[in-house]
Structure 1
Amino acid sequence: MLHTVLRRRAGGESVEQIQPDLIIPTGERKGQSPSVASIYRALAEHAKKEAHPEAVEQAQADFAALQNADIPRPRPDTAKLSA
């Protein structure tokens, strides 16, 4: 959907002109058009990713490292062990 918006905006159309032609493919609003605000949010997020690709890559790498890291386990209570 974002690709369609980017392509049509490059052709000179406004978000308001594009919005009625877009259809949400899945989820609660399946079959409906996204709001103009949702389209602008998606465009803003895309612009951030384009402006700072290294930050996006680093955040994804950090998240993957956290997912793969050993989760610390609580230490046993030594007072209970010696009793």
Structure 2
Amino acid sequence: MAETERETIRESTLEGLDTAARKGKYGGRPPVITDDMLHTVLRRKVLGESVEQIQPDLIIPTGKRKGEHPSVASIYRALAEHEKARAYPEATEAAHDDFAALQQRDRSSV
């Protein structure tokens, strides 16, 4: 009986997450490194600066840590995600297409 209840709760949770995703809402914290910050980091790295030199000049624009500097680890993580997106552009493009199709389907069903 406990397994059945657990499975019911799991299915309800997944349905709720799916519904929220179709509305464009995702759980978790917003990213600390914005696109503008990432662009600044990439530009300055090309000029030969290290992440440690760039980090004190960056300021988090929103959220719980607004006004503080992002950690060096956050910057490296954002750089790694950027490189992954560049390494597999077809996967990124397919994900964007899938998301657009989901949004279009939701708009037409409402």
Q: Same fold (TM over 0.5)?
A: yes
CA-to-aligned-CA distance 1:19-72 (integer Å, 9 cap, x gap): 0110011111111000001000100111111111111010111122233336xx
What residue in structure 2 maps to residue 10 of structure 1? 46
TM-score, normalised via structure 2 length: 0.59
The whole-number CA distance in structure 1 between the counterparts of 2:53 and 2:102 is: 42
- For the pair shown, the structure with the greater C-alpha radius of gyration is 1
**In 2, distance between residues paired with 1:41 and 1:9?**
15
- Does residue 52 of the first structure (1) align with residue 52 of the second (2)? no
1:19 aligns with 2:67: no
Structure 1, unmatched stretches of 5+, are 71-83
- The answer to which structure, 1 or 2, has the higher relative contact order (CA under 8 A, 6+ apart) is 2
Question: Unmatched 5+ residue regions in structure 2?
Answer: 1-36
Q: What secondary structure, in the 3-state scheme, does the structure 1 residue paired with 2:90 have?
A: helix
Residue 74 (structure 1) aligns with: none
Paired amino acid for 1:36? V
The root-mean-square deviation of aligned C-alpha atoms, in Å, is 1.2
Return the structure number with greater helix share.
2
Q: How many residues align?
A: 70
In structure 1, give the amino acid aligned to 2:39: H
Residue 42 (structure 1) aligned with residue 83 (structure 2): no
For residue 33 of structure 1, what is the aligned residue in structure 2? 69
| Aligned match for 2:99, one of 63, 66, 80 | 63
